[in-house]
Every structure is written in C-alpha cells, then in structure tokens.
Amino acid sequence: MSRIRPYRPSDRDALYEVCVRTADAGADATGLFSDDSLWGDLFAVPYAERHPDLAWVVETDDERVIGYIVATDDTDAFATWFRDEWWPTRQDRYPQPVQPTTREERMIEHGYAQAPGRNGNAAEYPAHLHIDLLPETQGQGLGRQLIETLFAELTRRGVRGLHLGMDPNNTGAAAFYERLGMTPLPAEPGGQSFGVRFV
C-alpha cells in the first residue's frame, strides 16, 4: 500500500526522478535532454523549495517516493522568486539560448522568461500546481487524494482559485482534471490549461 505524506527535504532527489520519468506527456523523458535535471529544475523542485507546506509525496511501504504534488498559492509572487532567486542559481548550468529552436532550448528559455504578470490566468486563479505519478501508482485514487489534499489547504487559506498548464498530448491527464471538476481556461499556443475556483 502507498500513502500520502508531507514533503521532506530528503525527498528532493526523488522529485527530480519522478519528474523526468513522467515529463514527456506522462511518459519517461530520460535522455531527451542533455541534462535530465532540467525538468525538475523547472517544474518540481523550486516549488518544494519555495512552498514545502504545499508539497506532498506518495510513498510506498518500502519508503520509495513514486509521486508528488507541488504548488504555489500565488503564481505572480512565485514567478518573482523564481526569476530573482531560483533561476540565477541555475543559469551557469543552462546558458540562455540565442535563438531557441530545439525542445530543450525552448524549455531553458521558459526558465529565463518567468516573470510576474506573464500568466493571464493568475489574476482569477492565483494558485497553480504540478502533479506527477509514476505508472505504478496510477488507477489507485492517489492522484485524486493528492489534489484533494492540496485543494483543502488552499481553501483553508482563502485562495480564490487555481490553474494549471499541461501538454495537450497527455489526454489521460486532461480527462482526470475534468473528472475533478476543473474547466478549460485560455492557454498559450501549443498548451492546455484548466482551472477551478474555491471561493
């Protein structure tokens, strides 16, 4: 049996692993980029660093982390922190591309482009999340439990709403969010977004 528990700093490496193993529209992205850590440095670890109180993991009986949810309750404040504090610690590792053409270069540029006010959904849906589960966890209701745990905490804090962005090729994830009552939101070209209101 697997269980959900709050994130601990010792889970950091596991976040990188789970992130890359689910990053290609839900499939394993290991080896797609020259540095597998890029996925986690963009979409998982900074959230746990900034908001460990909004991060939970799925742990097996033998204490392996096989899934997680991470979030921020204020997208614009998070973007400011990411730009000013997190990403500068990564820039030597990921030099800014002059003209991003490859998928990896576009992902790196995504890191450099973070800034408050960029996300058009953040005003009405200020929180956002990232959730990833290894295939062995799926179909057990753990994703729903993670989402419900986060939503309960955001509701307790009086957060107005939450949005998320995803790869539209991950059709299973889109169906999952719709089953949870999330509705489509405007998205950037090539992306897909969902949102939910709490108050």
Given pLDDT bands bounded at 50, 70 and 90, which one contains residue 78? Answer: very high
Range of the domain at 33: 3-157
In a domain, 114, yes or no: yes
Output the domain CATH number for residue 100.
3.40.630.30
Instruction: Give the predicted TM-score (pTM) of the model.
Output: 0.96
- Nearest CA to 128 among 158, 154, 110? 154
Query: How far is Cα 191 from Cα 163, in angstroms, rounded to an integer?
Result: 13
Give how many domains the chain has, as a whole number.
1
Kindly tell me if the per-residue pLDDT of 182 is higher than 90: yes
In a domain, 131, yes or no: yes
pLDDT, tens only, 16-62: 999 999 999 999 999 999 999 999 999 999 999 999 999 999 999 99
Query: How far is Cα 127 from Cα 116, in angstroms, rounded to an integer?
Result: 13
The pLDDT value given to residue 154: 98
The rounded percent of the chain whose pLDDT value lies above 70 is: 100
- Positive or negative, the CA dihedral 103, 107, 109, 110 is positive
Region 68-92 average pLDDT: 98
In a domain, 191, yes or no: no
Tally of CB atoms within 10 A around 130: 21
In a domain, 37, yes or no: yes
In a domain, 97, yes or no: yes
